[in-house]
Amino acid sequence: MLNKVISIEYTLYDANTNEQLDSNVGQPALEFISGQQQIIPGLEEELVKLNIGDNADIKVEPSQAYGEYQEEAVQTLPKEQFAGIELSKGMTLYGTGENGETVQVVVKDFTDDEVTVDYNHPLAGKTLMFTVAVLDIRDATQEEIQTGIVGGESAGGCGCGEGSCSTH
């Protein structure tokens, strides 16, 4: 099922601890275009099998989510590279990678001389459990397929699908 706009409501848990990590319940739906790698592969693979109105619990292993945790992605850098930043353990910083891309790191620890940062995605190594409700599925427009952006010119609409809007 390629090039479908799928709208979901979800709650995300760590499958091993049952800790809630994220949720969009009571907020705007998560919308993505199937086949465009806009969400993690393990979640998309299962969502495309569902229909409007379906509810499901979808377990996603690290290899189909944010990858395994890699110890070599933890690095200790000179503290002067962080001049002017008020550091705290667990804070997220954004920088520029070798190829100009934006990289996210988490401060693991710091001393007067060094800062230990983790380049792993915060959810790397975690088995994820998504509790999802499929709210809508429709064909993506040509513009959406080309741009990868759901909504295009009509963004800001009610988000309830073609012709099914009621006055809000």
52 confidence band (pLDDT: 50, 70, 90): very high
Q: Which top CATH class is 71-118?
A: mainly beta
Which long-range CB contacts under 8 A does 151-159 form with residues at least 24 apart?
Answer: 151/31, 159/7, 159/28, 159/29, 159/31
Domain edges within the chain: 4-66+124-154, 71-118
Distance CA(45)–CA(43), nearest Å, equals 5
| Fold classification of 4-66+124-154 (topology level) | Chitinase A; domain 3 (3.10.50)
Predicted model pTM = 0.78
pLDDT(163) > 50: no
Query: In this predicted model, what pLDDT tens digit does every residue of 56-68 receive, in sequence order?
Result: 999 999 999 999 9
Q: Which one-letter amino acid corresponds to residue 75?
A: Q
Higher pLDDT, 156 or 130: 130
Question: Which range has the worst mean pLDDT, 32-36, 44-48, 122-126, 163-167?
Answer: 163-167
What is the per-residue pLDDT for 113? Answer: 96
pLDDT(162) > 70: no
Query: In this predicted model, what pLDDT tens digit does every residue of 69-84 receive, in sequence order?
Result: 999 999 999 999 999 9
